């Protein structure tokens, strides 16, 4: 199935902005799978998964504001959960679907959990990729140290080396898979060099408050839809004991752990894709 680049004007805190999203052709009437990416990533991270799922699902992968091809927000303080959820709600309204099947990596998983905790929400099934309702300080400090510096690269080889180091938790990817990630991870800076495809102000927003543990258990406990949790065996963001607790409370999630990955599995491996497909198809 083919991918289509689409755009939607959405109302942000400072006025309208352009939201880019990627939609995969699907059979008529197919259920909608909504894929939400991590903090500094973009919707093209899901290309491999989406292409596979598009045989039976309509797959939509947005670039959240400040990422990929979506516009940057004027103010750093506007990069918040509430703004992301408002933008997602506008996109959901455009899709004209009775409900959605949510696949979220890291930040995208948190947004899915928050949305699924609300009354009358549209989430019918929820996949949380290496994230849960407890975000430990140590992992958040690691993330804070990596984002917002706006490094410059002389060429794509340097960009790839950087991405392989920072995102080593993606797992044992092939050279071709890394090249795909690199192809959608760069932007041209004002000085003509390569930069990362996200707004450096996202780092400012992340560090605006003291970095400490974040407890979202009350939201998780309010989730009622079937939930699948994917965990990288070496993850520092989703600790093993928290993943186990997620099977015992709230929606009592099913947890699948993948070896040779940390935070967060790239969802490019056939076993990972089939795990997600089977869970979503059970709806």
- What pLDDT is recorded for position 240? 98
> What would the DSSP string read from start to end of 87-102?
HHHHHHHHHT-S-EEE
Write out the two tokens for 8: 């939607």
* β pairing state of 227-232 and 3-12: unpaired
- What pLDDT is recorded for position 149? 86
Convert 102-141 to b/e letters by CB count within 10 Å (16 or more is b): bbbbbbbbbbbbbbbbeeebbbbbbbbbbbbbbbbeebbe
With residues binned 3-state (H G I as helix, E B as strand, rest as coil), the percentages for the chain, rounded to 5, are 35, 25, 40
Closest C-alpha among 135, 106, 140, 83 to residue 35: 106
- What pLDDT is recorded for position 1? 65
**In whole angstroms, what is the distance from residue 37 CA to residue 30 CA?**
22
| Fold topology of 3-281 | Rossmann fold (3.40.50)
Q: Is pTM beyond 0.85 here? A: yes
- What pLDDT is recorded for position 94? 97
Write out the two tokens for 229: 């949790």
- What pLDDT is recorded for position 235? 98
Count other C-beta atoms under 10 Å from residue 79's C-beta.
24
- What pLDDT is recorded for position 148? 86
Q: Is the torsion defined by CA of 235, 146, 138, 205 positive or negative?
A: negative
Using DSSP's 3-state secondary structure scheme, residue 181 falls into helix
Contact by Cβ (8 Å): 169, 264: yes
Render each residue's pLDDT in the chain as its tens digit; 283 residues: 689 999 999 999 999 999 999 999 898 899 999 999 999 999 999 999 999 999 999 999 999 999 999 999 999 999 999 999 999 999 999 999 999 999 999 999 999 999 999 999 999 999 999 999 999 999 999 999 999 889 999 999 999 999 999 999 999 999 999 999 999 999 999 999 999 999 999 999 999 889 999 999 999 999 999 999 999 999 999 999 999 999 999 999 999 999 999 999 999 999 999 999 999 999 7
**In whole angstroms, what is the distance from residue 246 CA to residue 133 CA?**
8
């Amino acid at each position: 199935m083919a991918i289509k680049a689409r755009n939607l004007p959405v109302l942000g805190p400072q006025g309208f902005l352009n939201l880019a999203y990627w939609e995969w052709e699907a059979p008529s009437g197919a259920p909608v799978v909504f894929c939400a990416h991590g903090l500094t990533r973009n919707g093209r991270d899901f290309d491999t998964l989406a292409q596979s799922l598009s045989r039976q699902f309509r797959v939509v992968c947005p670039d959240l504001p400040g990422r990929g091809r979506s516009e940057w927000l004027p103010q750093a303080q506007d990069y918040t959960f509430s703004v992301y959820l408002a933008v997602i709600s506008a996109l959901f309204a455009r899709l004209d679907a009775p409900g959605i099947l949510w696949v979220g990596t890291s930040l995208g998983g948190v947004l899915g959990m928050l949305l699924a905790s609300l009354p009358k929400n549209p989430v019918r099934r929820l996949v949380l990729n290496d994230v849960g309702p407890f975000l430990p300080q140590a992992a958040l400090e690691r993330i804070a140290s990596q984002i917002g510096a706006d490094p410059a690269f002389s060429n794509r080889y340097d960009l790839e080396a950087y991405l392989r180091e920072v995102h080593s938790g993606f797992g044992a990817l092939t050279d071709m898979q890394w090249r795909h990630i690199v192809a959608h991870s760069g932007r041209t800076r004002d000085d003509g060099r390569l930069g990362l495809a996200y707004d450096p102000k996202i780092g400012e927003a992340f560090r605006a408050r003291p970095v400490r543990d974040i407890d979202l258990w009350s939201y998780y406990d309010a989730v009622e839809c079937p939930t699948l949790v994917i965990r990288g065996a070496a993850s520092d963001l989703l600790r093993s004991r928290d993943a186990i607790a997620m099977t015992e409370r709230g929606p009592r999630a099913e947890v699948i752990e993948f070896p040779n990955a940390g935070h967060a599995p790239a969802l490019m491996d056939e076993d990972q894709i089939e795990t997600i497909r089977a869970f979503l198809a059970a709806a």
